[in-house]
Amino acid sequence: MHGQMNPQLFTTSATVGSVLLAIWVFVRLPQLRPKTFRAAILHIALAYGAFRVTPFLIPVCAHLAPPPVSIVLAVAGVALPGLCYMYLSWIWLFGLITKHLSGRPGGGHLVRSGA
């Protein structure tokens, strides 16, 4: 059993790797973050759609190349980006919610009290 990857280990590794990639993109590329809640929800919907298509794209990878290459293509080219986008879209939404709830001004003019 030493040296083999079982399905549970693969699933855990793919999940942790895609979450770490999503966090990295969130931190390193703030210009990609949606500015509105509507845009964030749209990203979640698109990510969900991409995630739902993933099982149909993996067999396509099997026909594009021989087995060692097709496995890497399916994981690195289809499954990992889909998972990463799913997690990233939720991180973007949570970031917007946090920004909204923090009480920081979101733009416009500050109003001064008449005291």
Evaluate whether residue 107 is within a structural domain: no
What are the pLDDT digits (tens) for 41-91?
Answer: 999 999 999 999 998 998 888 888 888 888 888 888 899 999 999 999 999
CA–CA–CA angle 96, 103, 28 (5° rounding): 40
Model confidence at 107, in pLDDT bands (50, 70, 90)? low
Evaluate whether residue 9 is within a structural domain: no
Evaluate whether residue 85 is within a structural domain: yes
What is the tally of structural domains in the chain? 1
Evaluate whether residue 22 is within a structural domain: no
pTM for the model stands at 0.80
Closest Cα to residue 12, out of 90, 94, 83?
A: 83
Evaluate whether residue 3 is within a structural domain: no
Q: Which domain holds residue 57?
A: 33-98
- Tell me 2's DSSP state: T
Evaluate whether residue 20 is within a structural domain: no
Where do the H-state alpha helices sit in 3-106? 7-28, 37-64, 67-74, 80-101
Residues in CB range of 66: below 8 A, 6 or more apart: none
Evaluate whether residue 80 is within a structural domain: yes
Is the Cβ–Cβ distance between 73 and 61 less than 8 Å? yes
